[in-house]
Amino acid sequence: MRIAIIGAGAMGCLLAGSFVKKKHSEVWLLDNDAKRTKKIQESGISVTGISGNFNVKVNITNRSRDISVCDLIIVCVKSYDTESAVKSIEPLLGEDTSVLTLQNGLGNIEMIAEICGREKVIGGVTGHGATLLSEGSIYHAGKGDTVLGRIDGRLTVAMREIRDVFNRSGFCAKLSKDIYGAIWSKLIINIGINALSAITRLPNESLIEYQQTREIMSMAVAEAVRVAKKNRIKLLYDDAIQKVESVCRATEKNLSSMLQDVLKKKKTEIDYINGAIIRQAKSLNIPVPANMILANLVKAIELEYSKQGS
């Protein structure tokens, strides 16, 4: 199987490094950052943490024409870059190519389907936590299930082959006939962790050590669950706050992706996480004050460091 992973951030590098280490597939990384591409070409990908310590050389390019048609394309860019990233992969698309999103937030499946066609899109979520230490250097902080599913709910031969690639590479992968339920379930975990960690600068486990952060977390999660129920979304767990707290413990030293962005003074995915809940809640006439506050605080942080950089 020929696989292209789009985006050389923490998750993209973790996947590429793990796939290459197991030597089950031909793997390419496609990244639009020429400087980062050169660094990874020279030094490879280094992974430390719960999956062990290893370094592997990977095929990486910033030009899609360097890669021929792929069986599987995994999109690991930030949600605000989905449209431009997917438009760049046209040379990689064949008649039987599958395009898998392993991104945070809502809206990525719809964007990819609009560009590539619904029949090619696979939605996915993963419970693995990874921190980008430097370009091509990853700390693997926590493990969890990876759930994959087609929009139409069909469990095809290609889906089973993709699941097997993940499983052989150390990712516990499962197939789902209800991928939207899985995506919303991951969204609500992100609602509980990402913005709160970005504001407080706390690693995941510390968020549940303090009564103050636990109360805010509970409020934001409860609001998101109400929106999910109103949309008739079936979540993968019965107790959402208990699930968020268990994820915090399982990824105790992990810095959420949003906290990593804030520390690097980069744009966050707040509009696709808490912002997505706010938009959904408005259309349903459901109040979500905790999510409003969290989103506004993250936006204020972004504005401050963008002002400093101007």
The answer to whether 74 and 3 have CB atoms below 8 angstroms apart is: yes
Q: Rounded distance, CA 306 to CA 215, Å?
A: 30
Q: Rounded distance, CA 68 to CA 46, Å?
A: 26
**Residue pointed to by tokens 């052989």:** 168
Active site residue 234: no
| Residue 144, number of CB atoms within 10 A of its CB | 18
Q: Rounded distance, CA 16 to CA 120, Å?
A: 21
Instruction: Give 155's Cβ-side CA count (13 Å radius).
Output: 8
Radius of gyration of the chain (CA): 19
Active-site pick, 21, 143, 186, 243:
186
Angle formed by the axes of helices 274-284 and 289-309, nearest 10°: 140
Burial class (CB in 10 A: 0-12, 13-18, 19+), 217: buried
Q: Which residues, other chains included, contact 76 with Cβ-Cβ below 8 Å and sequence gap of 6+?
A: 5, 6, 7, 9, 11, 12, 15, 102, 103
305 token code pair? 């460091």
* Amino acid at the residue 14: L
Angle formed by the axes of helices 240-250 and 179-200, nearest 10°: 60
Q: Rounded distance, CA 27 to CA 247, Å?
A: 29
Question: Where in the sequence numbering do the catalytic residues fall?
Answer: 186
